[in-house]
């Protein structure tokens, strides 16, 4: 078992962080997309590492991890800084985008339990929306390729707000679209930047780690840490065993 797998296993076996006493039953749900609904972060990571190799650059996993959860503008800024002028941003993005496209050409993989949770929320008339750092058009394209467009028609993309996660803007925009106070909504997030954003916006926050294990800061910010989206839904009372 890899070191990160061990960290994730330990992190998801207990409840951490912000007080969970007297939390309201969620009136609405906000989902991140990449790494939570779609199993795409690993695809982006593999493409990133391959692009570095093709361009003759040293591997830099930490640079990729800094990009996770950021929108297009902030991500490009961080990437430019991380490349240190060894190649241009445009050169790197051309190779990286090609590597990602080749991996997602046939289908976009979906995380376990996603369809079950969405269908359950619809059955119970609990509104939900996606708040993703990915640009809106690209998000809809990936949802379509994943076969999730009908289940997830409402998307707030990173291009719809001024400030990227970890700023709270996208969650405030999403909860306004839902018509509910952020404090009565629950956010499901896989990335540290997403957890920071949801917490700053005042949502009940469920962290479902993907490729980045939660550190002490994230464990303190998240109300719950769950091994998958169904476990997270159960922790906040949205689902129980007999709903599966």
Is-catalytic flag, 32?
A: yes
| 8 A C-beta contact, residue 59 and residue 211 | no
Dmax (CA) of the chain: 55
| 8 A C-beta contact, residue 225 and residue 207 | yes
Q: What span, in angstroms and rounded, lies between the C-alpha atoms of 202 and 205? A: 8
Q: What span, in angstroms and rounded, lies between the C-alpha atoms of 187 and 149? A: 20
Residue in 208, 195, 13, 183 with CA at minimum distance from that of residue 117: 208
Give me the catalytic one of 32, 34, 190, 210. Answer: 32
Q: What span, in angstroms and rounded, lies between the C-alpha atoms of 88 and 51? A: 13
- List, by residue number, the catalytic residues: 32
């Amino acid at each position: 078992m890899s070191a990160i797998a061990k960290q994730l296993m330990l992190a998801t076996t207990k409840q951490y962080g912000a007080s969970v006493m007297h939390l309201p039953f969620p009136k609405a749900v906000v989902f991140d997309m990449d790494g939570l609904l779609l199993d795409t972060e690993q695809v982006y990571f593999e493409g990133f590492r391959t692009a570095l190799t093709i361009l003759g650059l040293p591997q830099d996993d930490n640079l990729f991890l800094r990009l996770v959860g950021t929108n297009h503008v902030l991500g490009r800024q961080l990437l430019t800084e991380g490349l240190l002028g060894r190649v241009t941003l445009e050169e790197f993005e051309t190779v990286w985008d090609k590597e990602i496209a080749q991996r997602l050409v046939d289908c976009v993989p979906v995380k376990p339990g996603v369809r079950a949770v969405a269908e359950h929320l619809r059955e119970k008339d609990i509104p939900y929306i996606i708040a993703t750092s990915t640009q809106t058009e690209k998000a809809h394209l990936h949802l379509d390729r994943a076969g999730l467009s009908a289940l997830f028609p409402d998307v707030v993309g990173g291009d719809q707000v001024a400030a990227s996660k970890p700023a709270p803007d996208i969650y405030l925009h999403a909860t306004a679209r839902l018509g509910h106070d952020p404090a009565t909504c629950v956010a499901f997030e896989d990335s540290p930047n997403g957890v920071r954003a949801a917490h700053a916006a005042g949502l009940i926050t469920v962290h479902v780690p993907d490729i980045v294990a939660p550190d002490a800061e994230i464990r303190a910010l998240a109300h719950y840490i769950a091994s998958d989206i169904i476990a997270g839904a159960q922790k906040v009372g949205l689902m129980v065993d007999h709903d599966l």
